[in-house]
Structure 1
Amino acid sequence: MKKPEQPPSIWQKSWMKNLLTVLLFVAIFMALRPLMQGDVIEGQAPKLQLQSLNGETLDLQAMNAQGEPVLIHIWATWCPVCTFSRDGIENIAADHKVISIATQSGDDQQLLDYAAEHKMNTSLIVNDLDGAIAKQFGAKGVPADFVIAPNGNIEFVEVGVTSSIGLRLRLWWAGLQGEDK
């Protein structure tokens, strides 16, 4: 004798609904991604020789000459997503070369106060008072991350939320790419 068909369980309905929600979110994210990236530069990174908040010179070309990739992280104190990624960037800086560019976030003293409050390494932070450096990279939104391979090429660009693990993997891959070129 054939058993009567039973309607899908609550678990099955919930699982399908969650899958569709995730797929919709991914589709929206992928559709908006080109708008978030804007007009970011590609190819060779611009020559940068910048002064950190504590007076150290950060020279991108000299950092690249050491054979390791460099992360350029453009952020702002007023950006909630930047606040979310702050600790991750600080952790990455313990193992990798990082230039942290605070754009349109106040004068040097305001940034020093912000860095002290959040226990940030001021030797990495550059004040982009008027947004000129961010504009040089074509970053229209923050945070914006540029992974520069040892050969000086921009290997990866991320605008918006990204994970520390994702950035570490991109830095690792850029290091490999720099060896090949």
Structure 2
Amino acid sequence: MFKRYKALPGWLRWGLEILLVMFIIFVIRSYQSPTLESSTAPDFSGVTLAGDQVSLAGYAGEPLLLVVWAEWCHICSIELPMLTGLLDDHQVLTLAIQSGSDDQVRQFLYEQQLSHLPVLNDSNGELASALGVRGVPVMYIIDSSGQIRFTEVGLTSSWGLRARLWWVG
């Protein structure tokens, strides 16, 4: 079988290999996609690391960007600084999962110079489970009525998030 494959023209082999890689990426992203999409966001309430009381109802009226991340996630470390530019114009809440105690998450944020991010520590993973999170980072765009309108798994851009927030706004 490999002899026949090697006998194919180079451009065809490259095309097949690219298709195979794209298929693998698609399967991985499909697996990591949250099980909860395009539905009503689960109600939540809690206290951020800054001591602010937050709930889904408290964000009603404007779109909310809810970002689920973990301290041990390298992609999250790349993505979290991009959120700082969104804080002035949009409602943003981040959810730290499996990242330790409140003090450990605060220390991580301090070291990354991200102490200004609004963070709800979901150390036991209850809210992440209700959101259907399978992998991090995951971004949810929740519209003004509490409906999940967009989900994005993995690395994304701040302009892409802005466009989605504008779209549902």
Match of 1:105 among 99, 105, 117: 99
Is there any run of 5+ residues in structure 2 with no aligned partner, and where? Answer: 1-10
The corresponding residue for 2:43 is: 47
The corresponding residue for 1:69 is: 63
Change (3 A) 1:60 1:38: closer
Is there any run of 5+ residues in structure 1 with no aligned partner, and where? Answer: 1-14, 176-181
Equivalent residue of 1:170, what SS?
helix
What's the CA shift for 1:130?
A: 1.1
State how far apart, in whole Å, the 2-side matches of 1:158 and 1:136 are.
Answer: 17
**Moved segments of 4+, more than 4 Å:** 15-25
For the pair 1:152 / 2:146, whether they are aligned, the reply is yes
State how far apart, in whole Å, the 1-side matches of 2:37 and 2:148 are.
Answer: 8
What's the CA shift for 1:24?
A: 5.2
Change (3 A) 1:22 1:88: farther
> Rg bigger for which structure?
1
The corresponding residue for 1:92 is: 86
State how far apart, in whole Å, the 1-side matches of 2:160 and 2:132 are.
Answer: 22
What's the CA shift for 1:79?
A: 0.3
The residue type equivalent to 1:113 in the other structure is: Q
C-alpha RMSD over aligned residues: 2.4
Equivalent residue of 2:113, what SS?
coil
What's the CA shift for 1:30?
A: 2.7
State how far apart, in whole Å, the 1-side matches of 2:58 and 2:18 are.
Answer: 43
Kindly indicate whether the alpha-carbon contact (under 8 Å) linking 1:53 and 1:126 is maintained by their aligned counterparts in 2. Answer: yes
The corresponding residue for 2:52 is: 56
What's the CA shift for 1:152?
A: 1.2
Change (3 A) 1:102 1:24: same
The residue type equivalent to 2:59 in the other structure is: M
TM superposition score normalised by structure 2: 0.83
- Which range moves more in the overlay, 75-84 or 157-166? 157-166
Equivalent residue of 2:93, what SS?
strand
Percent of paired sites with the same residue: 35
TM superposition score normalised by structure 1: 0.78
What's the CA shift for 1:59?
A: 2.2
For the pair 1:165 / 2:162, whether they are aligned, the reply is no
For the pair 1:35 / 2:36, whether they are aligned, the reply is no
The corresponding residue for 1:11 is: none
State how far apart, in whole Å, the 2-side matches of 1:160 and 1:147 are.
Answer: 14
State how far apart, in whole Å, the 2-side matches of 1:142 and 1:31 are.
Answer: 16
